[in-house]
Amino acid sequence: MKNIRMRNRLVLGFMAVIFTSCEVKEQADKLKALESCTYEIVSADSVYIAGTDARQLLQNGGLNIFQAPQLAFAYMQQKMPVKAKLQLKVTNNGTEEAGINKFEYKVLIQDTEILDGFIDQQITVSPSGGTALVPVRIDKDFYPLISNQTNQQAVTNFLTSQTEQKMVVTFRIKPRFVIGTQEIEYPDFIDVKKELTNTVLLSYLKAKNQP
């Protein structure tokens, strides 16, 4: 009787290991497919810079964040808080389903971290052109970024230029596998670099500014 019980336990344990291994592999395969997806910011809503609606800062087709008195005052106090709601579109042109359960993220501009957070929702992107929208909220002080003169000039050119300007934005993602009731953190961040143009970013604000 004891031998039967022991054998049953070994069988159940072996099955649990196989099930867990399959589950990990499935999530790892979806994560690998996610790395090959394309990413695009498709909307920017409720953008506030130092408490000022960004739409009020639109001048001659650009966004001037250094001439508004309230922003200049915030800069003198070494603060430049930015709040916004972004929609990130993920497109899967591969042949395998892509997905992720939960993940920590960081956003960098000019190699300076401007944002971090945690997405606590499952994201699944079907293959062959499937898409998913991921909401990203910004609530961060941008002063460390623009206090550097080189960065400040780059940001100014990007926002005020009448011609198309490009800036590389880096999304750093650290996934978490969910196995049963346990979460296993991925050992490192996955970097996804995206080229953002000022014309695209400003078009979102202009669209919101129209009646």
DSSP string, 10-66: HHHHHHHHHHHHHHHHHHHHHHHHHHTSEEEEEEEEEEEETTEEGGGGEETTEE--S
User: For residue 46, what pLDDT is reported?
Assistant: 83
**Tally of domains in the chain:** 1
Q: CB atoms < 10 A from the CB of 107, how many?
A: 19
Distance CA 54, CA 56 (A): 5
Q: CB atoms < 10 A from the CB of 136, how many?
A: 17
Residues 6 or more apart whose CB falls under 8 angstroms from that of 186 comprise 31, 174, 175, 176, 177
Q: Which residues pair with 176 in a beta bridge?
A: 102, 185
User: For residue 59, what pLDDT is reported?
Assistant: 66
- pLDDT in 10s for each residue of the chain, 211 residues: 544 444 444 333 333 443 345 666 777 788 788 878 888 878 878 888 888 888 787 766 667 776 678 888 888 899 989 888 888 889 999 999 988 888 888 888 877 787 888 888 888 999 999 999 988 888 888 888 888 888 878 887 887 777 888 888 888 888 887 766 677 777 788 888 878 888 877 777 766 544 4
Let me know: does 57 contact 201? Beta carbons within 8 Å: no
The residue range of the domain holding 90 is 2-209
